[in-house]
Amino acid sequence: MSSIDSTAGQSLSLAQASKVAEGHRRDALPRLKRLWAYYRNPMAPGGPGRAYRLAQEAGLPARFAADGLLRDDRARGARELVIENDIGWRVHSMVDFLLGKPVRVLSTAADATLRERIGAFLDAVWEKSGGIGLLQDVALLGHVYGYVDLIVRVDAGALAAAARAGGLASAAAAVRVEVVEPSRGAPVPSPRDFRDLEGYVLWRDEQPPAAPARAGLSMLIPAWGGLGARGRTLELLTRDAWEVYERGELVARRPSIAGELPVVHIQNIAQPFRYEGLSEVEPLIPLQDELNTRLSDRAARVTMQSFRMYLARGIDGFEKGPVGPGVVWSSDNPHASIEAIGGDAASPSEESHIREIRDAMDKASAVPPLASGVVQAKIGSLSSANALRVTLMGVLAKTARKRVTYGAGIARASWLALAAAHEAGVLDVPELQRGLRVHWPDPLPTDETEQVRAAKLKVELGVPSERVLAELGYAAEDEGITG
């Protein structure tokens, strides 16, 4: 049977996939673009008088625009703008707490030798897929969009060759975990259960420049440069097969991994009865707009009040001469006068309002400035690690909550990789032996002496030494480490 001409068992048609893609682009893409724009706040070329514009300027009132309806007609241009991206650093801090350090996927198989082989295989798969950098990309996209999807790509030919050669390293190179940005992938949910997917659709509208394909992958997914002229490319993923369409024509088809949909869905924070999770950016957008508005208002006030203006009466030519130290003005007019206008003045209500907006953003995100290393006097004396944990209780609790969803996604992608290896005969791992758990390091700085002391106590209590070493961040195969 040809790998292309057969459509037997196809559960998702091209027409259905195209409809899903168009609906996603029409309904979801504008919201996704807005979330990314507020996180990234990219810079674009500006108009006259200003070399650039920032994405968050779109949330400012009309009076700040050069053509705003509320602009003073006597003004020469737009008002001064101050854009402070409080969303970006908060998202980065949350990603650092969640995946600032490498995580480890550990096998729970009963046989120690099998555990070591599974661990070595999964470590190689994740490392060749991008390692901690890939996981940080996953976390970043999940925090911004509220969810992120992973796809486990398998090169069946290379995996079969690795099975014949008996090499785990070459087998791991044939399995790749790929992150999918929500703006170019859409799920096909089951009408019976919102948690279940009937398929997944990926698309690419323009063909990138031709590039050499990875060895063997061209048999599964043809190189993008070899698919012909520019046009839409659709990938349809179901439990039955993985199909690639170029301009409506089927160009590749391969069976899925062990009859499983090779898609892993990760919600940033679980949201009941919805495919999408909770975004960290969305609740901060109104507060960010208000903060930028008030900062821009303050800039206008400071500009007006920091530079003194003068009202001269009865002095001819005052407007033509300089105003500065040592300048003497004289007049024969007994009613002549010079009055100074302006000068900086305190505005307690304005400062209080800006401070309260920042406090509201701290509460909404659970990320105080201390999380990014900004130490303020109001935090008091942090004399111990416990005091630091109490101060950062909000972000630590949210991080622990996210570990559930991200950890389940990492474990599921690893399970699919093991299923592919078992199906190809590379690694004999029965389904009952594919149990996995994710070890997360402490996000806060730790005292190594205390860690070693706690590890010794665990060994004395009977905890396996390899598990204790894994918790300390050491692999059993590291030099000088013995089981």
pLDDT of residue 151: 94
Between vectors from CA 26 to CA 23 and to CA 27, what angle results, nearest 5°?
A: 80
Segment 390-447, tens digit of pLDDT: 777 888 889 999 999 999 999 999 999 999 999 888 888 888 889 999 989 888 766 6
CA distances to 36, 144, 316, 345 from 361, in Å: 18, 16, 55, 27
d(CA 70, CA 87): 28
List for the chain the helix, strand, coil content (%; round to 5).
45, 15, 40
Is the whole-model pTM more than 0.75? yes
pLDDT of residue 475: 57
Please say whether the beta carbons of 321 and 329 come within 8 A. Answer: yes
Low-confidence ranges of the chain (pLDDT < 50): 1-9, 68-71, 73-74, 207-230, 377, 478-483
pLDDT of residue 308: 72
pLDDT of residue 333: 85
Pick from 413, 408, 464, 415: nearest CA to 107 = 415
pLDDT of residue 10: 52
The count of residues in the chain is 483
Q: What is the phi/psi pair of residue 177, to 5°?
A: -95, 125
pLDDT of residue 201: 94
